[in-house]
Amino acid sequence: MKYQIITIFPEIFTSYFSHSIIARAQKNNLIDIKIHDLRKWATDKHKTVDDTPYGGGAGMILKVEPLYKALKELAPRKKKTRKIILTSAKGKTFNQTVAKSYSKNIKEMIIICGRYEGVDERIKEFIDEELSIGNYVLTGGEIPAMAIVDASTRLLPKVLGNKESIINESHNKVGTLEYPQFTKPQNFKTRKKILSVPDILLSGNHEEIKKWRQKHQSKQ
């Protein structure tokens, strides 16, 4: 999967994408991530990418021309296997089902990170999806872009060492969450009580453990 992210804050991504599973997936050539500074496509000497809203109102709006130029360069032709995504608090909710569908059917994502009060509405002529990561408003589209890249990458073949991780993970089946997990110590003592691991998980009886886990998978 190739990810191309358009942002006015490219350095935000460096740390997150250079750790753990996402770093390993890049190293193993399972994904390729390119971060593009939107200012590269600004047309004036001050590299302006935002302006005041028509009709008045608070804040600034990301201009359509630099974004259009960016898309013309990064996606000169339409491709069935590529999605151009605008991050937006108003968009369709990004969830595990959407992530699964991308990881199966898409080979490239171009993700536009909005900022300020948002993006000139005319950009919608040139995108495929407007995605929200939840019903709240963030300062910019960088965290949503990281969430989309992360959730979709985990579902790509060979990215996770153990396939079981995906099968039992929350939301793999719609409405099902992962069973409760415990690790050492067996008895965790606080000043008021001892919190113990359920006996069944210490029994070594894999059939019974499986049944217990199935019983305790919360349904949404």
Q: What is the CA radius of gyration of the chain?
A: 22
Q: How far is the CB of 159 from ligand SAM (least distance, A)?
A: 23
Judge contact between 115 and 50, C-beta under 8 A. Answer: yes
CB of 64 vs ligand SAM, minimal distance in Å: 13
Nearest-approach distance from CB 79 to ligand SAM, in angstroms: 23
Report CA dihedral (145, 149, 151, 155) to the nearest 10 degrees.
160
Q: How many CB atoms lie within 10 A of CB 188?
A: 12
| CB closer to ligand SAM out of 115 and 154 | 115
Please give the Cα distance from 131 to 50 (Å, whole number): 21
38, amino acid identity: L
CB 27 → ligand SAM: shortest distance, Å? 28
Which residue among 115, 153, 154, 159 contacts ligand SAM (CB under 6 A)? 115
Give the residue closest to ligand SAM by C-beta.
Answer: 114
Site for ligand SAM in 121-150 (CB under 6 A): 132-134, 136-141, 144
Residue of the chain from 17, 118, 153, 159 that contacts ligand SAM (CB under 6 A):
118
| Contact set for ligand SAM, span 77-106 (CB under 6 A) | 87-90
Contact 133, 85 (CB under 8 A): no
- Provide φ and ψ at 190, rounded to 5°: -110, 180
Which residues in this chain contact ligand SAM in the complex, by CB under 6 A? 87-90, 113-115, 117-119, 132-134, 136-141, 144
